[in-house]
Amino acid sequence: MNELAQKDLKYIWHPCSQMKDYETLLPIVIDHGEGIYLYDTDGKRYVDVISSWWCNLLGHCNPKINEAIKNQIDKLEHVIFANFTHKPAVELCEKLSKILPEGLCKFNFTDNGSSAIEAAMKVSFQYHTQTGNPQKTRFMALTDAYHGETIGALSVGDCDLYTKLYKPILMDIIRIKGPDCFRCPYGKTRENCNCECFEHAEEQFKKYGEETCAMLVEPLLQGSAGMKIYPPLYLKKLRQICNKYNVHLLADEIATGFGRTGKMFAFDHAGVAPDIMCLSKGLTGGYMPCAMFVTTQKIYDAFYADYLEGKAFMHSHTYSGNPMACAAANAVLDIFSDGSVLKNAQENAVYFNNIIKEKFLPHKNVGEVRSIGLINAIELVKDKQNKEAFDGKLRTGYQIYKKALPKGVILRPLGDVIYFNPPLIIDRKAMDFVTDVALECLKEVLPE
Ligand SMILES: *Cc1c(COP(=O)(O)O)cnc(C)c1O
């Protein structure tokens, strides 16, 4: 019995866990990481196919990122970011401004994704108040959305697992029935649709557009909802309708940014730009807590005035703009800069998706294989014909997760959706391995 794991349970309340489950599955004590691999204290190797909660982009202990942080730590570890600045932060924003969708040029730092969302919501509200629209006090978001777990961010989200219990203390959000491409009520497919489901957005904008500050959206990929994927056309339509009703389009690219969808940002697929974009997770390659919202000159200008007008954005987090986090983020962007990481990932994405379709689609309980970039999701169903889901109480996904661990793969499904969201540097041999293991475990839990 691992002594550290025992001691862990004496002290630590783990995130997003029923602690009683740890009675039968002790926390795995990770000793070190290298590339796509994690090693526990017994030397057992795991493929980190979920990128350590979707944040690791370029492998664990990446030598270049390690070096950047080591260099920074001997110069400056942290400084107050009001009235002070430092080179890593300035460099980072300059680099990002060159690759972000057009018009996004003003950077506000926070230290985690949920806080970036909350700050962005506040800034949107304040903008409208300061530009003569104080009636704009509400927010819109899609069904099945996920935007984080602090109270404001949780409010705009709509995944029952996280929100349901807290409904009595959450904000009243205008909910738009979002795309559901696997079970499309219009009988269309992602490839042949005209986003007929956008009629729900049109209805809600018509009713509530006047009182709305911002529409939040996870572009193309609703991650926590089970890696639901929808076409870029939906974002184009959102852009148009937001313009019509003077509503900010607020892109949550926390999970999709930095190459996850095959392009640098998911919005790049749509050829339109949001008014506000939130970034975190991959921003530092998964090294340091760091987040930001980025916005336009137009929004920024609505706050720019003499002090006594009281228009400043009075929002802060102690660790905003942390120099070591910025140094890590700069190293990440340097690694991306010659284009080879993204190009490799795009090529490997085709291979990955092909082998996953080949291996999993024939199984009687695989309802759909969907993919964007290197992200691939396998939705398990009880009945392939009518797409009926399993009873959640069976915890089918969790059974598969437990089988895969001793075989050296970290799968951690979302409900009954098994997914792969590996670091962008994963190679084909590892893709073969993780898909073989996942299929083996699937067949053990759901024999044909
Ligand atoms: C992870 C995530 C968040 C929240 O970020 P935290 O750093 O965990 O607070 C928000 N939105 C999306 C889409 C995410 O995936």
Q: 17-71: per-residue pLDDT in tens?
A: 999 999 999 999 999 999 999 999 999 999 999 999 999 999 999 999 999 999 9
Predicted pLDDT of residue 2: 86
The finding on whether 112 has its CB within 6 A of some atom of ligand 1 is: yes
Each residue of 114-172: pLDDT tens digit? 999 999 999 999 999 999 999 999 999 999 999 999 999 999 999 999 999 999 999 99
223 lines ligand 1 (CB under 6 A): yes
Can you tell me which atom of ligand 1 is nearest the CA of 149? 9
Nearest atom, ligand 1, residue 218 CA: 13
CATH architecture of 67-336: 3-Layer(aba) Sandwich (3.40)
Ligand 1 site, residue 256, Cβ cutoff 6 A: no
Compute, in angstroms, the gap from residue 192 CA to the centroid of ligand 1. Answer: 31
Residue 425: CB atoms within 10 Å: 19
Say whether 392 sits in a helix, a strand or coil.
helix
Taking the CA of residue 224 as reference, the ligand 1 atom at the shortest distance is: 15
Tokens of 375: 């992200």
**CB hemisphere CA count around 140 (13 angstroms):** 29
Atom of ligand 1 nearest to the CA of 256: 13
Q: Where are the beta strands (DSSP E) in 191-253?
A: 212-217, 221-222, 228-229, 248-252
**Could you read off the pLDDT of 408-448 as tens digits, one per residue?**
999 999 999 999 999 999 999 999 999 999 999 999 999 98
| The pLDDT of residue 364 is above 80 | yes
Q: 3-class DSSP state for residue 94?
A: helix
Q: Which residues pair with 430 in a beta bridge?
A: none
**pLDDT higher than 80, residue 1:** no
Question: Smallest Cα–Cα separation from 125: which of 318, 315, 321?
Answer: 315
| Confidence category of residue 374, pLDDT binned at 50, 70, 90 | very high
- The closest of 416, 408, 414 to 440, measured between CA atoms, is 408
Q: What is the pLDDT of residue 383?
A: 95
CB of 424 within 8 A of CB of 281?
no
Task: Give the pLDDT mean for 352-381.
Answer: 98
* Any ligand 1 atom below 6 A from CB of 277: no
Spell out the residues 6+ positions from residue 346 whose beta carbon is closer than 8 angstroms to its own.
262, 373
Bridge-based pairing of strands 174-176 and 138-142 is parallel
Identify whether the C-beta of residue 145 lies closer than 8 Å to the C-beta of residue 216.
yes
User: 218 CB under 6 A from ligand 1?
Assistant: yes
Confidence of residue 399 (pLDDT cuts 50, 70, 90): very high
Mutate to test the pocket of ligand 1, among 114, 144, 156, 258 (most ligand atoms within 8 A of CB): 114
Under the banding of pLDDT at 50, 70 and 90, the label for residue 368 is very high
In angstroms, how far is the first alpha carbon of the chain from the final one?
35
CATH code 3.90.1150.10 for 3-62+339-445 = yes
- Predicted local confidence at residue 86, as pLDDT: 98
User: Where does the pLDDT of residue 207 fall: very low under 50, low under 70, confident under 90, or very high at 90 and above?
Assistant: very high
Residues of the chain with CATH 3.90.1150.10: 3-62+339-445
Contact yes or no for 254/216 (Cβ under 8 A): no
CA of 153 from ligand 1 middle (Å) equals 9
254 within ligand 1 shell (Cβ under 6 A): yes
How many whole angstroms from its chain centre is CA 55?
8
Residues of the chain with CATH 3.40.640.10: 67-336
Is 257 near ligand 1, meaning CB less than 6 Å away?
no
Mutate-to-test residue for ligand 1 from 146, 221, 222, highest number of ligand atoms within 8 A of CB:
146
Q: Residue 93 and residue 149: Cα distance in Å, rounded?
A: 26
- With a 6 Å cutoff on the Cβ, whether 232 touches ligand 1 is no
Choice from 149, 155, 254, 260 to test ligand 1 binding pocket (greatest atom count within 8 A of CB): 254
**305 C-alpha to center of ligand 1: Å?**
32
Beta bridge partners of 330: none
**Does 100 contact ligand 1 (Cβ within 6 A)?**
no
Query: Which long-range contacts (C-beta less than 8 Å, at least 24 apart) are formed by 434-438?
Result: 434/47, 434/49, 434/409, 435/352, 435/355, 435/356, 435/359, 435/360, 436/359, 437/404, 437/407, 437/408, 437/409, 438/360, 438/378, 438/400, 438/404, 438/409, 438/411
CA separation for the pair 313, 358 (Å, rounded): 52
212 vs 137: CA distance, rounded Å: 6
Residue 112 alpha carbon, nearest atom of ligand 1: 7
148 lines ligand 1 (CB under 6 A): yes
Looking at the CA of residue 153, tell me the nearest atom of ligand 1: 10
Span 352-374, mean pLDDT? 98
Task: Dihedral sign for Cα 386, 392, 393, 396, please.
Answer: positive
In angstroms, the CA 376 to CA 39 distance is: 24
pLDDT at 448: 86
Is any ligand 1 atom within 6 A of the Cβ of residue 147? yes
